[in-house]
């Protein structure tokens, strides 16, 4: 599935906002629309671009392709260690994010990550000081800043969206 015209506009808007932060690297989920979004942003900002499965959307198992509310309802009855049937647990997503941190450490400046809502929510739960629930929308920008040397980075968030 390709990005819609709205998705393309959101990527261009995000690139405009991100240009103010002088990013040095862009890393994306390897799923198709995330890569399409990342390519637009990388081209506009003249950034090196790579992708990784570590930023993939959470696998929802039997709930893939069904309304998100069904998966979230099933998830509310289980612990973060448990996966929905044939899917991935929240803790498995968190483990992927922990494996991503060493890839980001060498960057000498801001990094743009293009990923998916559940991955962002898990990052917020892991590292944000503040509410667990953060309003997200396609094309939104969440600024996370912290010290990589700390065992548990401390992040501050700001949100911009179309």
Task: Note the CATH architecture for domain 5-160.
Answer: 3-Layer(aba) Sandwich (3.40)
Give the CA distances from residue 5 to residues 9, 36, 59, in Å, rounded to whole numbers and listed in that order: 6, 12, 26
Residue 130 contacts residue 142 (beta carbons within 8 Å): no
pLDDT in tens, 84-116: 999 999 999 999 999 998 888 888 888 899 998
Kindly report the number of other CB atoms within 10 A of residue 147's CB atom: 8
Model pLDDT, residue 158: 38
List Cα–Cα distances, 65 to 62, 68, 120, in angstroms.
Answer: 8, 8, 20
Whether 135 contacts 159, CB under 8 Å: yes
- Model confidence pLDDT, tens digit, residues 27-82: 999 999 999 999 999 999 999 889 999 999 999 999 999 998 898 899 889 998 99
Name the one residue in this structure whose structure tokens are 């570590």: 54
Tokens of 56: 């993939």
Residue among 56, 34, 1 nearest 14 (CA): 34
The whole-number pLDDT of residue 153 equals 38
Evaluate whether 2 touches 28 at the Cβ level (below 8 Å): no
Q: What is the DSSP letter of 159?
A: E
Residue-level pLDDT at 88: 94
Better-scored residue on pLDDT, 129 or 33: 33
DSSP-derived letter for residue 128 is B
- Ranges of each domain in the chain: 5-160
**pLDDT-based confidence at 145, cuts 50/70/90?**
low
pLDDT band at 154 (very low <50, low <70, confident <90, very high): very low
How far apart are the C-alpha atoms of 154 and 146, rounded to whole Å?
A: 5
Q: At what angle do helices 117-127 and 90-104 cross, to 10 degrees?
A: 80
């Amino acid at each position: 599935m390709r990005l819609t015209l709205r998705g393309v506009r959101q990527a261009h808007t995000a690139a405009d906002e991100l240009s103010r932060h002088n990013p040095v690297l862009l890393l994306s989920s390897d799923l198709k629309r995330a890569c399409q979004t990342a390519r637009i942003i990388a081209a506009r900002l003249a950034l090196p671009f790579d992708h990784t499965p570590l930023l993939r959307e959470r696998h929802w198992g039997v709930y893939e392709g069904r309304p998100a509310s069904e998966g979230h309802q099933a998830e509310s009855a289980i612990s973060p260690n448990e996966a929905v049937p044939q899917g991935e647990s929240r803790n498995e997503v968190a483990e992927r994010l922990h494996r991503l941190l060493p890839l980001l450490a060498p960057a000498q400046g801001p990094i743009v990550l293009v990923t998916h809502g559940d991955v962002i929510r898990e990052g917020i739960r892991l590292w944000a000081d503040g509410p667990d629930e953060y309003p997200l929308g396609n094309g939104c920008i969440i600024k996370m800043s912290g010290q990589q040397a700390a065992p548990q980075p401390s992040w501050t968030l700001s949100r911009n969206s179309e």
